[in-house]
Amino acid sequence: MIPPVFRRIVLVGFMGAGKTSVGEQLSSRLGWRFVDLDEELVARSGLSIDDWFDAFGEAAFRKEEAALARELLASSDLVLASGGGWAVEPDRLVELPPGTLSVWLDVGVEEAVRRVQKSSVSRPLLRGKAPENEARRLLEARWSAYAEAQIRVDTNGQSVEDVTSRILEILENEGTRTAAE
Ligand code: S3P
């Protein structure tokens, strides 16, 4: 059972960390609603993520994703898969609404790039000729922001099922610890 102190979970981490796949599975095991921030933004605006970056630039995209996340995080019984840049804004994970558990899905550069290249979703930030170099640069710059999450789960070499079960296991232990405090 998830401790009642948590009413929603936000998954953060780099592109290719598995936020969408793990989020879908986690939400179904909890019986909660699942929303992928990028997919919701695309559905509401009718523009792909590539379109957002190409037509309006990254800053406009960041503003839009921030507003949408703020709205979604006001609801309960929700697993939200954020986009890889969402958690990177200053204090983003420090200022979450009470009852929100932040989970960092950690992934190494090589595995992240491998997963992104296999995916059908285009990542405008990794469209260049040397995606691995760009991923390394971005991940180094973002690492400390992701590390602000309450929980870190290593996803390297792990299946979606493994990662989901690990999160649920940590949640159960957290609940026991919180109750005993
Ligand atoms: C981005 C990650 C993407 C998407 C956009 C920008 C980033 O989401 O929001 O391409 O800045 O890391 P995923 O993490 O779901 O790939």
pLDDT tens figures, 69-91: 999 999 999 999 999 999 999 88
Residue 171: pLDDT band (50, 70, 90) is confident
* Predicted pLDDT of residue 147: 97
Section 35-56 average pLDDT: 96
Higher pLDDT, 175 or 151: 151
pLDDT in tens, 46-65: 999 999 999 999 999 999 99
Q: How far is residue 31's CA from residue 6's CA, in Å, rounded to a whole number?
A: 14
HSE-CB at 111 with a 13 A cutoff on CA atoms is: 13
Write phi, then psi, for 118 (nearest 5 degrees).
Answer: -80, -20
Residue ranges per domain, the chain?
A: 8-180
Q: Are 107 and 16 in contact, with CB atoms under 8 Å apart? A: yes
Structural element, H or E, at residue 101: strand 100-106
Centroid of ligand 1 to alpha carbon of 117 (angstroms): 13
Decide whether any atom of ligand 1 lies within 6 Å of the 124 Cβ.
yes
Q: Are 55 and 46 in contact, with CB atoms under 8 Å apart? A: no
Residue 173: pLDDT band (50, 70, 90) is confident
Q: What is the pLDDT of the chain when averaged over all its residues?
A: 93
pLDDT at 180 over 80: no
Q: How far is residue 61's CA from residue 111's CA, in Å, rounded to a whole number?
A: 26
Task: Report which DSSP code applies to 158.
Answer: -
Centroid of ligand 1 to alpha carbon of 164 (angstroms): 21
Q: Are 13 and 151 in contact, with CB atoms under 8 Å apart? A: no
Q: Can you give the pTM of this predicted structure?
A: 0.95
Q: How far is residue 102's CA from residue 110's CA, in Å, rounded to a whole number?
A: 24
* Predicted pLDDT of residue 178: 53
- What is the assigned CATH class of domain 8-180? alpha beta
Ligand 1 atom having least distance to the Cα of 88:
11
Decide whether any atom of ligand 1 lies within 6 Å of the 105 Cβ.
no
Ligand 1 atom having least distance to the Cα of 20:
15
Amino acid at 14: F
At which residue do the structure tokens 């998954």 appear? 11
Decide whether any atom of ligand 1 lies within 6 Å of the 10 Cβ.
no
Centroid of ligand 1 to alpha carbon of 23 (angstroms): 15
* Predicted pLDDT of residue 2: 63
pLDDT at 177 over 60: no
Decide whether any atom of ligand 1 lies within 6 Å of the 123 Cβ.
yes
Q: Could you tell me the CA-to-CA distances from 108 to 21, 112, 144, 164 in Å, in that order?
A: 17, 6, 14, 18
Q: Which of 109, 121, 123 gets mutated to test ligand 1 (max ligand atoms within 8 A of its CB)? A: 123
Whose CA is closest to 86, among 181, 26, 170, 14? 14
